[in-house]
Amino acid sequence: MSAEQSTSRAWPLFAAIMKYAKPYKLAFIFSVLLLAADIVYDVGYALVQQLFVDAAERRQMDTLFTLTGVSLAAGIGIILFFTLQFYLRNKVQSLMQRDLSTDVFQQIAALPMPSLLKFHSGDLVSRTTRDVQQANGMVANIVYELTYNIVLFVVAFAYLATINWQLALLVVLSAPLVFAIGRLFDRKLRAYGGQLQKKDAEVRGFLQETMQGLSIVRIFQMEPAVAAEYGEKRTAQNRLQVKNMLHRTSMNQSVYLANQLVMIVCVYFTAYTAIEGTLTAGQVLAFLVLISRVQNPLLSVINTWGNFQQGLGAGERIFALFKSVGGAKRPRIGHAEQAAASEQALHVESAIDDEEGSENEAAVDAEPIVAVREATVALESGEGEQTTLLAGVTMTVRSGEFVAIVGPSGAGKSTLARLCCGLIPPTTGEVKVLGSRLEEQPAAAETLRSISYVPQTPYLFTGTVRDNIGLGVEDATDEEIKWAARAACADSFIEKLDGGYDSVVGERGDTLSGGQRQRITLARALIRRPKLLILDEATSALDTVTETEVMQSVIDALPGITILAVSHRESAIRQADRIVAMEGGKVVEEGSRAELLRLGGVYALLFADPQGLASES
């Protein structure tokens, strides 16, 4: 990539980051203006030195006392301005970083499931934290550092020119050379910036994955292999860091050498001019001080530009995520739903008031609650490989029906369940729930308020049992939480916990058993009183007797509820009105239990044993 191409791509990214300063524009503008205090100090220091030396040389004691008083007063004022500028600058940057990080999180929550599956969770965490921090640093590098150094350079040069314009021109001879050297390193620094962010995300992802699976690592005695792999990843990361540091050091030292050569020449001619009597002692001292005030900004500009290039690498990773979402976002249904989306489960707001629009409800009930027509789902992996999970599936679920989905492993049951609640869009075909297509807004947002989905793997957040159940509805009352727990047959074991509903569960709910986690997750779904409840192996960790009791309790608690349940066991679907059997991503059988047994197909093979689908193996 040429330098021109690099720059043309840089400024749109910088402009996108700068939009986050708009809500805080007054504080932002004031913090930039207060940079003047820094510049006054840096240039004023040279002026004060000149005045003090000249006054001392002329033995002007009154002038010395006056200069001392003025300098002290000015120093106190400048310190106050320094403090205010530092506070405003850091406050604005902190708020901008918060807003950008929040937006990135919301973009991740809005990613369609096929896109989300292409990213490692560690990579997404890295983009939300480290990449945001690096990208936000561009504001400091360009707006504050670059502005400060450019203005300081101009003011110091102007002051130098008032002393001796020929020497002032000589001082700035290093500027073209410094900029030329800096541009030589642009492309590499930017590339290293992006590679370092990617490698950091890879290491974080590996650590996160390993910590979550530490029990497996220990059981299979994989500690040496895992440690070796981690060491290899860190070695690769360190190797890249060293390359980046060498590149930056080479740039900085090249610029420093150019500046020092010019400095030596400038000092020589300054001394020569002083010997001829053209400059006073104070002017010589001021000139020597100002040389650094002219040349140091050039060094700082190059260093700032290097940081800016690395920030661009992080910014590109962030806004690539924004492009992945595109214009079509998932319907936004509140904070609780965004939190629940991170566990790949839908939990929606309270049920539509029974008194609202009975005519509209009757119209909805006249058509299927769920209508899947010739739906195909093909997902693409991060490596670009495409896998067809569903092929031409057609299925309907009527209001108040309990429809079970069964089939061998890999038949597409969970994919169909996710399809029916909008977690996965159809590649081709059509899916309507409550008369609406879930990708269409605003109708889809209303539809999602009437759906609850319980995933195959229960997920609990760190917090109390009460918090986890109440997550499904904003400001849930104690009565609502306990009702949902009873409906999920969870109240009996919750009451026996040391803290009852206020017991704190560990990370991912690891302090509870699998069956307990599943029932709390089910309670979280039921507290919404949904019209459509989608269960994906939601009670698989329970024994068959308890599983049957739980399903009956759900039906009793919400009369007339429509249930779509995926299960490998007959005990979970014993109350089903209709059974859909799948194989190879297709619906191959449909009917009652007796009808499918007589048919002697997939269902009969799975359920012929009285023990149910447990005999699948």
pLDDT given for residue 3 in this prediction? 47
Mean pLDDT of the chain: 78
Query: Would you call 216 exposed, middle or buried from its count of C-beta atoms within 10 A (0-12, 13-18, 19+)?
Result: exposed
Give the span between the Cα atoms of 312 and 166, in whole angstroms.
39
- Give tens-digit pLDDT for 62-86: 777 887 888 788 888 888 888 898 8
pLDDT given for residue 9 in this prediction? 64
Give the span between the Cα atoms of 349 and 473, in whole angstroms.
6
Give the span between the Cα atoms of 348 and 345, in whole angstroms.
10
pLDDT given for residue 107 in this prediction? 82
Confidence label for 293 from pLDDT (cuts 50, 70 and 90): confident
pLDDT given for residue 220 in this prediction? 59
Q: What is the residue whose two structure tokens read 């790949």? A: 344
- Give tens-digit pLDDT for 154-192: 888 888 888 888 878 877 776 777 677 767 777 777 777
Confidence label for 320 from pLDDT (cuts 50, 70 and 90): confident
Helix then strand then coil, in percent of the chain rounded to 5, is 65, 10, 25
Confidence label for 212 from pLDDT (cuts 50, 70 and 90): low
pLDDT given for residue 133 in this prediction? 82
pLDDT given for residue 8 in this prediction? 57
Most confident of 294-298, 474-478, 612-616: 474-478
pLDDT given for residue 523 in this prediction? 93
pLDDT given for residue 356 in this prediction? 38
**% residues pLDDT > 90 (the chain):** 16
Coil vs helix vs strand at 448: helix
Contact 104, 183 (CB under 8 A): no
Give the span between the Cα atoms of 370 and 402, in whole angstroms.
12
Report DSSP letters for 585-616, one per residue.
TEEEEEE-HHHHHHHTSHHHHHHSSTTGGGGG
Peptide bond before residue 426 is cis, with ω within 30 degrees of 0: no
Across the range 465-474, mean pLDDT stands at: 84
pLDDT given for residue 444 in this prediction? 62
Give the span between the Cα atoms of 607 and 610, in whole angstroms.
7
- Give tens-digit pLDDT for 398-433: 999 999 999 988 899 999 998 988 888 888 999 988
Which range has the worst mean pLDDT, 46-55, 269-278, 438-447, 602-611?
A: 438-447
- Give me Rg for the CA atoms of the chain: 34
pLDDT given for residue 176 in this prediction? 74
- Give tens-digit pLDDT for 77-121: 888 888 898 899 889 988 988 898 888 888 877 777 667 767 767
Across the range 531-545, mean pLDDT stands at: 88
Confidence label for 534 from pLDDT (cuts 50, 70 and 90): very high
pLDDT given for residue 306 in this prediction? 67
**3-324 and 335-616 in the same fold:** no
- Give tens-digit pLDDT for 239-284: 888 888 888 788 777 777 777 777 777 778 777 777 877 777 777 7
pLDDT given for residue 289 in this prediction? 79
Which two structure tokens, joined as six digits, stand for 520?
């709390």
Q: Which CATH class is domain 335-616?
A: alpha beta
Q: What is the pTM of this model?
A: 0.64
CA proximity to 394, closest of 108, 588, 543: 588
Across the range 202-221, mean pLDDT stands at: 71
Coil vs helix vs strand at 384: coil
Across the range 204-222, mean pLDDT stands at: 70
Which two structure tokens, joined as six digits, stand for 445?
């947002």
Could you tell me which residue, 510 or 343, shows the higher pLDDT? 510
**What are the beta bridge partners of residue 372?**
395, 431
**% residues pLDDT > 70 (the chain):** 83
Say yes or no: domain 3-324 is CATH 2.30.30.110: no
Q: Is the dihedral of CA 213, 218, 222, 224 positive or negative?
A: positive
Could you tell me which residue, 223 or 495, shows the higher pLDDT? 495
Q: Which DSSP symbol is given to 26?
A: H
Which two structure tokens, joined as six digits, stand for 80?
């106050």
**Res. 439: pLDDT tops 60:** yes
Query: Can you list the positions of beta strands (E) in 152-232?
Result: none
Report DSSP letters for 391-424, one per residue.
EEEEEEE-TT-EEEEE-STTSSHHHHHHHHTTSS
Give the type of residue at 318: I
Report DSSP letters for 276-293, one per residue.
TTSS-HHHHHHHHHHHHH
Give the span between the Cα atoms of 347 and 96, in whole angstroms.
30
- Tell me the domain boundaries of the chain: 3-324, 335-616
Angle between helices 544-557 and 514-526 (to 10 degrees): 10
- Give tens-digit pLDDT for 476-506: 899 999 999 999 999 999 998 888 999 888 7
